[in-house]
Amino acid sequence: MIDTIHAVQTPEGVDLALRVAGPVPRALAWAVDLGLQGFGLIGLQIAIAMALGGSGVAFGLDAIGAFAVVWFYPVFFEVLGHGQTPGKRMLRIRVVQENGTPVGWSASVLRNFLLVADFLPFLYLAGLVSMCVDPSFRRLGDLAAGTLVIHADERRGAWRAGRVAVAEGPAAPPSLPLTLEEQSAVIAFAEREPLLSRERADELAGIADVLSRGEEPRARLLAIAAWLLGRGA
């Protein structure tokens, strides 16, 4: 399956295009995580056997450990690892909310616990059918939790490109005093600018036309952002 685009508009009116990951990279990431879980379970069982032998307590701890590893491994990494398990990090994909914000505990628990429903009737057939039907490749757990799996490299690269553009471009102080909120907005615009079309960037920059002093608003805001980040004019 090819990848597709999920369009999101932030509360600030910024249009984001999230490139949704298809079944193939997701399946590969799942396979990597499954292997890591298997190694983790074997290591846990060996450690418990060495410490407690074959007692009933050891059996109970094995069962508790297996439950924790199988069910909470993805939840732990998705929430604390910015939406990425080790497998997802290797394949450069991540889990986010449908609006592009980071995934939380409740959403991650729901999407991962519903893997049971996605598995039915066998070999994740229900989840695969759901991904093939849904335009954003969401399995049943994603639909219930309101989550997406997207490619992580593009967005990180765009944000890095924004920081590089600000760091290497000209710097100039604002013509008017700016509040902390206004300064944050200018810096946020500069970092998000590579994610926007030229027309949308010009439209947003035009809102701050009072700061342009007759210059091109988009370039002027980028120069102010560079100055606010500590570069001299």
Q: Dump pLDDT digits (tens) for 29-59.
A: 999 999 999 999 999 889 888 888 777 888 8
Same domain? For 171 and 137 the reply is: no
Within 13 A of 158's CA, how many CA atoms are on the CB side? 17
Flag whether pLDDT at 85 surpasses 60. Answer: yes
Cα–Cα distance, 59 to 57 (Å, whole number): 5
- The number of domains in the chain is 2
Residue at 233 is within a domain: no
- Three-class SS state of 197: coil
Q: Using 50, 70 and 90 to split pLDDT, how confident is the model at 3?
A: very low
Size of the chain in residues: 233
pLDDT of 1 higher than 80: no
Average pLDDT estimate for 75-80: 95
Structural contact between residues 4 and 20, judged by C-beta atoms closer than 8 angstroms: yes
Report whether 101 contacts 145 (CB < 8 A): no
User: Which tokens in the block code for residue 74?
Assistant: 């993805």
Whether residue 44 lies inside any domain: the answer is: yes
Give the pTM: 0.64
Alpha-carbon span 176 to 98, nearest angstrom = 38
89 in the same domain as 187: no
**Are 133 and 34 members of one domain?**
yes
Calpha distance 85→35 (Å, rounded): 12
What sign has the CA pseudo-torsion 189, 190, 196, 200? positive
Tell whether 11 and 109 lie within a shared domain.
yes
